[in-house]
Amino acid sequence: MVAATKAPDRIPAVLAIVALGIFSALLLLLHDRWAPLIVVAAGAIALVVALKTGAAAHAERSFAAHERSMNAVVIAVFLGVLIALGRENFSLLMLCTVLLYGIACLGLNIQLGYCGVMNFAGAAFFGAGSYTAAVLAAHTALPHPLILLAGGLVAGLLGSVLLLPLLRTRGHYAALITVAFGILFRSFLEVNDTLGGPQGLVVPGLNLFGWSLNDPITVGGVTFSFYLNYALFTLLLAIVAFVVARRIERSWIGMNLDAVRIDAVAASTFGLNVPYLKIMAFVVGNIFAGIAGAVFAMMTGFVSPNDFDFSTSLVLIAILVLGGIGNPWGILPAAALVIILPEKLQAIQEYRFLLYSIAVIAILLFRPAGLFPRRLRRFFPVERAS
Amino acid sequence: MLGVVYAMVAVGFTLYFGVLDVINFSHADVLTAGAFVSLVAYRGLSAAGIELPFAVLGLMLVAGVAGMAALGMVIAKFFVLPLRYAPPFITLLMTLMIGTAIREAIRLFYPSGSNAQSFPALLPKTAYHWGNLLVREDTLILIATGFAVIVLVSLFINRTRLGLAIRAVAQDGETARIMGIHFEWIVLLVFALGSALAALAGVMNGLYYNEISFSTGLRLGIIGFCAAVVGGLGNMYGAIIGGFLFALLQTLSVVAMPSLSAYKDVFAFAAIILLMVIKPTGLIGEAVSERV
C-alpha cells in the first residue's frame, strides 16, 4: 500500500463491524426474557468504553480511510447475520424493516442532511408508497417491479404539492408545513373508506419476474424462512439506494446541496439555482421513501393508517439524528437501534418507550452530533495526500 | 371554547420561541400532565372530605399550575438550556422526546392510565336558550376565564418591568445580558409561565369534556403549534388569532359540508398549508432580514 504512512489500518474497522454484526445477531437470536437485556447492557458498556478509550475514533478513522473495501465487509457481515437468522421469521422481518426504514432515511438524509430541507412528513411519503402498492397490486396486473417504482413516483408527485409552500417559507414555518401535511395525510387515510379507512388494506406478496418472494427457499435440505427472500431483496435495494445517495453526495450536485444548506443566500450569489436544488433534493428523497414504503407494504401484506402517523415520521427523524445528520453510514446502526431495541426488550415490555425516549435524551445531551457524526468532505483520496 | 384552549396553547409555544428560538414540543404533554396533577389533587381532596366545588377547583388549579410551572423550569434548566448552541433540530428532537417520556410516564404510572379518565364536572351546567342558540353556563365561565388569562398574560408582558425584561431577551439575548438582565432567570420564568398556561388549558379542557387521557395533549399541542406558526412565531397576538382561526376553520368545514364532517381536520390542515403559501411568515409576520 502506498498510503501506509498516512492511512490507518483496516483491522480496527473490520473488528468494529464484526462486533456490531455479532451484537445484532445475538440480540435477534435470544428470545429469553432477560437475555436481550444483558446483551444490550454489555453492548452499551462496550460502546461507552470504546468512546472513552478512543478505540471508537480509531475504528472510525480506519473506516473512513478504507471505505471502499469496508463496503464489502459490511455486506459480508450482514449476509452472515442473515444466514445465522435464516429460519427466524420475526427476526428477519425486523431486519427487513430496519433496511427499509434505512432506505427511507437515506432519502430524508438527502433532504435534511445535504440540502437542509426539513421534512416531518417522512411517514406520509412512506405511506403514499405503501398505499400505491396496495391499490395497484390489488386492482391492476402491472408487474411488481413497476409497482414499486410507481410507489416511489406517487410519493414524489404527492411531495410536489408541497413544493410551492416549502419554497416560499423557511425554517420553522417550513417545518410546520410538513407537520401539517403528515397529519393531514393520516387523518385522510383514516376517514377515507375507499382506501380501507382505519382497517387498512390487504396487499399481495411481492413477485419478481415469476419468482414469488412468499415461497420459502430450500438449500441443501434446509428450508429458510420466506422472509429471507425479502431480506436479500431489501438488502439489494438498500445497496442501490446507498450507492445513489453516496454518488449524489460526492458529485457536484452534493457540493451544491451542501452550499444551499449552509447558506442559501451566499449559494445563490455564486449562481446556484437554489429552488431547483431544493426541489430536486425534496423529490428524490420522497421517491426513496415511497419505494421503501411500497416494499414494506408488500412484505407485511397489510397497510393501515396507524403505520404512518406523525410518530413514525418522528422515528425516521430520530434515526437520522442519532446516526449523525448527513452521514449515510450512521443510518444503519441507528435504524437498528431504534427499531430492534424496543421490540427485543420484552422483559420491560410496558416501559420500553419510556426507556427509549430517555435513552435518546441521554444521547442528545452527551453526544449532540449523533453517534456517528458526519466527517468533513474529503476532496482528495487519502492515497494521494501521502 | 375550542378557540380559547387552542389560543392558550399557542401562546405558550410562541413565548418559548420568543425567548429562546426554540420550538418546545413537550408543551403538549406538559398540558396533559397538568390536567392529571389536578385530577390527583381532586381525588386527594375528595378523600379528605372537602366538597365545596369552588374551593376544590381552586386547590386543583393551584396544584396543577404550580406543579407544571416547576416542571417547565426543570425542562428548561436541564434539557433545553444546555443545548442552546446545538442545531435547532437537536433541541426539537430533545423536546419531542421529553414529551414522549412524560406521556409514557403518565400512561404507565397513573393507575390504569392507558384508559381515558373521567374528569369531575365542577362547574354548573345550567343551560340557557337564546332562540336556537344553546349555551351552557360552564362554557361561558371557561371562555371568560380563558379570555381573562390571555389578557392578563398580555398585560404582564407589555406593562410590567418583568415583561419588559422578557421582551428584551426575546429581541436580543446578548444585549439584554449587557443591560443587566439575568438571562437564565428570564428563560426559566418564561418556561414556568408557559407551562402554567398549559396546565390551565389542560384543566379547562378536562372540565369541558369531563374526560382526559394520556394522549389528550398530543392533538391539542399540534393544533396549538400550527396556530402559533400561522399567527407568526414570537408574536402573542398572532398566536391568539391563530388559535381562534383554527377553531373557526374546523367549525366552518363542518357547517359548510356536513356530509364530510369526518374530514374536518384534513380541511383545517389543508387551509393552514394554503395560508402559509400566501403569508409565508404567518399572519403577523416576523420581521425577516437577510444577513449575508
Stronger pLDDT, B251 or A193, i.e. the higher one = B251
- Tell me if A187 and B280 make a contact (CB, 8 A cut-off): no
Instruction: Please identify among residues 1-20 of chain B the ones whose CB lies closer than 8 Å to any CB of chain A.
Output: 17
pLDDT reported for residue A283: 92
The mean-pLDDT minimum among A53-67, A129-143, B170-184 falls in: A53-67
**Shortest distance, CA B35 to any CA of chain A (angstroms):** 20
Q: Is the residue at B33 inside a domain?
A: yes
Inter-chain residue contact B104 with A310, CB threshold 8 Å: no
**A180: chain B residues, CB-CB within 8 Å:** 226, 269, 272-273
pLDDT for the residue A8: 63
Residue B269 sits in a domain of what CATH number? 1.10.3470
pLDDT (average), residues A6-11: 63
Q: What does the pLDDT look like over B160-186, one tens digit per residue?
A: 888 888 888 888 888 888 888 888 888
Q: Which residue has the higher pLDDT, A341 or B39?
A: B39
Q: Is A14 on the interface with B (CB under 8 A)?
A: no
Q: Is B245 an interface residue toward A (CB < 8 Å)?
A: no
CB-CB: which of A173, A181, A368 is closest to B90?
Answer: A368
Q: Which three cell numbers stand for residue A35?
A: 437475555
Alpha carbon separation from A187 to A304, B267, B269 (Å, rounded): 12, 10, 10
- Contact status of A232 with chain B (Cβ, < 8 Å): no
Q: Hey, are the CB atoms on B229 and A162 less than 8 Å from each other?
A: no
pLDDT at A350: 66
- C-alpha to C-alpha distance for A174 and A282, rounded to whole angstroms: 12
Nearest CA to CA, how far is B197 from chain A (Å)?
A: 22
Mean pLDDT of A229-254: 86
**Residue A1 confidence (pLDDT):** 38
- List Cβ<8 Å contacts ≥24 apart for A35-42: A36/A344, A36/A345, A36/A346, A36/A347, A37/A345, A37/A347, A37/A348, A40/A341, A40/A344, A40/A345
User: Chain B residues with CB inside 8 Å of A265's CB?
Assistant: 290, 292
Which pLDDT band holds residue A4 (cuts at 50, 70, 90)? very low
Ranking A113-127, A251-265, A273-287, B83-97 by mean pLDDT, the lowest is B83-97
* Residue A181 at interface with chain B, using a CB cutoff of 8 Å: yes
Residues in a beta bridge with A199 = none
Q: How far A266 CA lies from chain B's nearest CA (Å)?
A: 7
| Range of weakest confidence among A16-20, A36-40, A222-226, B1-5 | A222-226
- Is some CB atom of chain A closer than 8 A to the CB atom of B100? yes
pLDDT of A331 > 80? The answer is yes
User: Are B222 and A310 a contacting pair at CB < 8 A?
Assistant: yes
**From A84-98, A211-225, B13-27, B275-289, the region with the lowest mean pLDDT:** A211-225
> What is the number of structural domains in chain B?
1
- Asked whether the predicted pLDDT for residue B22 surpasses 70, the reply is yes
Q: Tell me if B288 is assigned to some domain.
A: no
CA A129 – CA A142 distance, rounded (Å)? 15
Residue A37 exposure: Cα atoms within 13 Å on the Cβ side: 11
Mean pLDDT of A28-36: 67
Cβ-Cβ contacts under 8 Å, A349 against chain B? none
Q: Calculate the CA B78 to chain-centre distance.
A: 21
Assess whether pLDDT exceeds 70 at residue A86.
no
Share of chain A above pLDDT 90, in %: 5
**Mean pLDDT, residues B133-156:** 84
CB pairs under 8 A between A and B: 114
> Which of A112, A172, A368 lies nearest to residue B86, judging by beta carbons?
A368
Residue B292 has pLDDT above 50, yes or no: no
Whole domain around residue B121: which residue ranges?
Answer: 2-278
Segment 34-73 of chain A within 8 Å of chain B by CB: none
What pLDDT sits at residue A319? 84
Residue B215 at interface with chain A, using a CB cutoff of 8 Å: no
Region A274-295: mean pLDDT is 90
- B243 lies in a domain? yes
Cβ neighbours around B182 below 10 Å, total: 13
Question: What's the whole-model pTM score?
Answer: 0.79
% of chain B with per-residue pLDDT over 70: 92
Task: For chain B, say whether A362 makes contact (Cβ under 8 Å).
Answer: no
For residue B2, the model assigns a pLDDT of: 75
B111: contact with A, CB 8 A cutoff: no
Where do the structural domains in chain A lie, given as residue ranges?
A: 89-332
Which of B83, B94, B269 has the CB atom closest to A180's CB atom? B269
Domain A89-332 falls under CATH 1.10.3470: yes
SS3 B117: strand
Determine, for residues B277 and A314 on separate chains, whether the beta-carbon distance falls below 8 Å.
no
* pLDDT, mean over chain B: 81
- Facing residue for B273 by CB, picked from A165, A354, A364: A165
Q: How confident is the model at residue A5 (pLDDT cuts 50, 70, 90)?
A: very low
Say which of B266, B276, B290 has its CB closest to residue A176. B276
Is B272's CB within 8 Å of A325's CB?
Answer: no
> Is the CB of residue A39 less than 8 Å from the CB of residue A27?
yes
Q: Between A184, A350, A364, which is nearest B94 by CB?
A: A364
Residue A173 to residue B229, Cβ atoms within 8 A = yes
Q: Do A353 and B98 touch (CB under 8 A)?
A: no
Give the whole-angstrom CA distance, residue B77 versus residue B99: 16
Residue whose C-alpha cell is 356530509: B259
Tally of CB atoms within 10 A around A254? 19
Give me the amino acid identity at A167: L
Please report residues of B whose CB lies closer than 8 A to that of A365.
79, 82-83, 94
Q: Does any CB of chain B come closer than 8 Å to the CB of residue A325?
A: yes
For the segment A20-30, the average pLDDT, to the nearest whole number, is 72
Per-residue pLDDT averaged across B210-219, rounded? 79
Which residues 6+ apart lie within 8 Å of B207 measured at CB? B119, B121, B122, B123, B138, B142
* Total length of chain A: 386
For residue range A342-365, list pLDDT tens digits in order.
Answer: 777 665 666 767 777 777 787 777
Contact A114, A281 (CB under 8 A): yes
Contact (CB<8Å) A368/B277: no
Q: What is the pLDDT of residues B51-89, one digit of tens each?
A: 777 778 888 888 888 888 888 888 888 888 887 777 777
Run of H or E residues at B125: none
Assign residue B170 a region (left: φ > 0; alpha: ψ between -120 and 50; beta: otherwise).
alpha
CA distance A153 to chain B (A): 22
Asked if A325's CB is within 8 angstroms of B89's CB, the reply is: yes
Beta bridge partners of B130: B133
Check B273 against A351: CB less than 8 A apart. Answer: no
- Look at residue B81 and give its three-state secondary structure: helix
Q: What is the mean pLDDT of residues B20-36?
A: 85
Note whether B74 contacts A: Cβ–Cβ < 8 A.
no
Q: Which helix (H) or strand (E) holds B128?
A: strand B127-130
Residues of A in contact with B263 (CB under 8 A): 187-188, 191
- Answer yes or no: are the C-beta atoms of B238 and B13 closer than 8 Å: no
Residue B164 included in any domain: yes
In this structure, what are the phi and psi dihedrals at residue B290, rounded to the nearest 5 degrees?
-90, 125
Hey, which of A8-12, A35-39, B44-48, B285-289 has the most confident mean pLDDT? B44-48
Q: How far apart are CA B183 and CA B43, in angstroms?
A: 39
The whole-number average pLDDT for the span B117-136 is 72
Point out the least confidently predicted range of A8-12, A16-20, A110-114. Answer: A8-12
* Cross-chain CB nearest to A172 (options B90, B93, B229): B229
Confidence of residue A190 (pLDDT cuts 50, 70, 90): confident
Does residue A267 have a pLDDT over 70? yes
Give residue A385's pLDDT: 43
- How large is the average pLDDT for residues A22-39? 70
pLDDT digits (tens, 9 = 90+) for B238-268: 888 888 888 888 888 777 776 666 677 777 7
The strand pairing partners of B67, in sequence order, are none
Angle between helices B236-256 and B137-159 (to 10 degrees): 150
| pLDDT bracket for residue A384 (50, 70, 90) | very low
**Residues B77 and B95 sit within 8 Å (Cβ to Cβ):** no
Region label for A263, one of left (φ > 0), alpha (ψ between -120 and 50) or beta (otherwise): beta
Round to whole Å and give the CA distance between A373 and A339: 20
Chain B CB within 8 Å of residue A365 CB: yes
Mutating which of B273, B277, B281 best tests the A interface, going by the most A Cβ atoms within 10 A? B273
pLDDT on residue A288: 92
Angle (nearest 5°) at CA A79 between A74 and A80? 95
Distance of CA B204 to the CA centre of its chain: 11
A2: pLDDT strictly greater than 50: no
Confidence of residue B41 (pLDDT cuts 50, 70, 90): confident
B287 touches chain A (CB under 8 A): no
Give A242 or A83, the one with higher predicted confidence.
Answer: A242
Residue B23: closest CA among chain A residues belongs to which residue?
A: A172
A170 vs B280: CB contact, 8 Å cut-off? yes
Distance of CA B64 to the CA centre of its chain: 13
Burial class for A220, CB neighbours closer than 10 Å (0-12, 13-18, 19+): exposed
